[in-house]
Amino acid sequence: MKRHKRQEIETLRKEYPEGARIRLLSMNDPQAPPTGTEGTVRGVDDIGSILMLWDNGCGLNLIVGEDSFVKI
């Protein structure tokens, strides 16, 4: 997993603020929500993962640079 620099994390926090909506395009994880699942950003942690609450109840976080998603 890529380690983000402090400034990159701050940029992510501005780009994906709490309450922003995301649509998942792909995630390489056997427990991933289905492609197309939408969810709400809960925040960005100190390593740059986007903390998610998916509409289907899943809480799996997004890894920037590995997972594919769009802000809606």
Reference 44, options 68, 66, 20; nearest CA is 20
Partner residues linked to 21 by β-bridges: 40
- What pLDDT digit, counting tens, does each position of 31-60 carry? 999 999 999 999 999 999 999 999 999 999
- What pLDDT digit, counting tens, does each position of 15-29 carry? 999 999 999 999 989
Instruction: Assign residue 48 a region (left: φ > 0; alpha: ψ between -120 and 50; beta: otherwise).
Output: left
Quote the pTM value.
Answer: 0.90
Type of residue found at 60: L
What SS3 state is found at 34?
coil
Please give the domain boundaries of the chain with CATH numbers for all domains.
6-71 (2.30.30.40)
